[in-house]
A = this chain, B = another copy of it.
Amino acid sequence: MASYSIADIASWERFYRANFINSLTGFKSVNLIGTVNEQGQTNLGIFSSIVHIGSNPPLIGYINRPVKAAPHTLANIEATKLYTINHIHPSFVQQAHQTSAKYEAAISEFEEVGLTPEFKENIAAPFVKESRIKYALSLQEIIPIRLNDTFLVIGKVISIHIEEDIVSEDGFLHLDKANSICSNGIDGYYTTELLQRYQYAKPGNQPQKIN
């Protein structure tokens, strides 16, 4: 087993370190965030830092990089207080990755990469039509992380659109049946296979499998 110290990590070439540290955190949820500015210009960006904050109320966060590096999504969310999160499937992973290119603010990534904006009632922000699991959020709070000038952006889920056969009786979503992908590092995309579900764990018992 190889060991690396804090001095080793600091000495690494920039892209090597970015690849390594981004992989170290493990597999990630990777999604497209859809927004619109006050003039109606749509924007679509890929984000792999979605994090569950709570279920009741349903709060979901993501980390936005420093404003200079990733300005458009955050500015649109601040202006309109609304955004959508859309799962990615293998059929459009290449287009999803391409949204990470630094397009000008006046350009819509939807048109550039070939994905379809879809508008649903009362939600100004665009969904991705090709996505099988998508939801809209209402901005609740933007928490600055002063350590490195990033932001934790927290939204409340206000509507969910999902293919019905993915939802199981107890509310669990079969993301593998939906073919939602996950990511690793900056640029690796993965499919998944269910290993096992386990029942709620209690001291003294072996965890029971859910079939």
Interface pair A147/B59, CB less than 8 Å apart? yes
Q: Are A200 and B187 in contact (CB-based, < 8 A)?
A: yes
B203 contacts A21, C-beta separation under 8 Å: no
- The interface size bin for chain A is 35 or more
What is the chain B residue whose CB lies nearest that of A17?
B55
Give the distance to chain B from A173, nearest Cβ to Cβ, in Å: 4
- Would you give the 0/1 interface string for A131-151, flagging 1 where the beta carbon is closer than 8 Å to chain B? 011010000110101011010
A171 B206 Cβ-Cβ under 8 A: no
**Contact across chains for B203 and A20 when beta carbons are under 8 A apart:** no
Q: Mark A180-202, 1 if CB is under 8 A from B, else 0.
A: 11101101111111111111111
Indicate if the CB atoms of A25 and B29 lie closer than 8 Å.
yes
Most buried by B among A12, A133, A190: A190
In A146-188, the 8 Å CB interface with B consists of 147-148, 150, 152, 154, 156-164, 167, 170-173, 175-176, 180-182, 184-185, 187-188
Q: Please give, as numbers and ranges, the residues of chain B lying within 8 Å of A14 by CB-CB distance.
A: 56
B52:A2 contact, CB within 8 angstroms: no
Contact A182 B192 (CB under 8 A): yes
What's the minimum C-beta distance from A174 to chain B, rounded to whole angstroms?
8
Neighbouring B residues of A159 by C-beta, 8 Å: 3-6
A72 contacts partner chain B, Cβ-Cβ < 8 Å: no
A2 / chain B contacts, CB cutoff of 8 Å? 161-164, 167
User: Can you report 11 A-B residue pairs in the complex whose CB atoms are below 8 A from each other?
Assistant: A5-B158, A9-B58, A51-B51, A51-B61, A53-B145, A93-B196, A101-B205, A140-B147, A176-B190, A187-B199, A188-B197
Apart from A90-B195, A192-B192, 13 more pairs, CB < 8 Å: A4-B160, A19-B171, A20-B173, A27-B181, A51-B51, A51-B61, A94-B196, A101-B205, A145-B152, A172-B187, A182-B192, A187-B197, A190-B194
